[in-house]
Structure 1
């Protein structure tokens, strides 16, 4: 039971990190201020990534396009705006993960942001 609880806690923390990264990026790029919206975007983006990244050769490229497409669908603006949100979310996730993993000693990832 303990491994299941540990996995669930790790998933929730990773989802909160991914959602926070998207929330911060969307706040900077399109002045969006809904953490819940960012969490849902992280979940849908992760599902899109999982469904496409396994494709041989072009999978990671297709997955990245799908992930940016999810951001484009969930936030105002076009593909360039969505790509900007994606880049800033990725950089934000790196910083957040550095703090959580290096400084606090946690071993978590970011669910919903490709790292």
Structure 2
């Protein structure tokens, strides 16, 4: 049962992250952004966040800041527009993900600690 729960949380987290990044890319870049590109970005971003967390996550404040910079760096690498666009996409993605996780928690589908975007 634990493996099935882990797989479900992973899939839901990836889906939430994908929807958030897709919404951010469409809002900030004002162009069609593909679901696949958003999913790949969410997956690479999650891996980058986890690896960075492993190495520097224990450092108070600086660790979290470095993890966030790496995550935004992945968005910057995957989408055009530079760092300011990547930060804006990340911010919109975070807001959207918080909203989705909140709705899921209110209806009792998940607990609020489900992660789709870093820091939720």
Aligned length: 112
SS of match in other structure, 2:28: helix
Q: Which residue of 2 aligns with 1:51?
A: 51
Residue 20 of structure 1: how far off its partner (Å): 0.6
Contact 1:23–1:32 (CA<8 Å) still a contact in 2?
no
TM-score by length of 1: 0.90
The 3-state SS of whatever aligns with 1:99 is helix
Q: CA deviation at 1:32?
A: 3.5
5+ residue gaps, structure 1, are none
Q: Residue 53 of structure 1: CA displacement?
A: 2.3
Structure 2 length as normaliser, TM-score?
A: 0.86
| Contact 1:52–1:60 (CA under 8 A) maintained in structure 2 | no
Could you tell me how far apart the structure 2 residues matched to 1:61 and 1:3 are?
A: 32
* Counterpart in the other structure of 2:22: 23
Which of residues 101, 104, 109 is equivalent to 1:106?
A: 109
Q: What secondary structure is seen at the aligned counterpart in 2 of 1:5? A: helix
Structure 2 residue 98 is matched with structure 1 residue 94: yes
Shift of 1:110: 3.0
Q: Which consecutive aligned stretches of 4+ in structure 1 deviate over 6 angstroms post-superposition?
A: none
Instruction: State the superposition RMSD in angstroms.
Output: 1.3
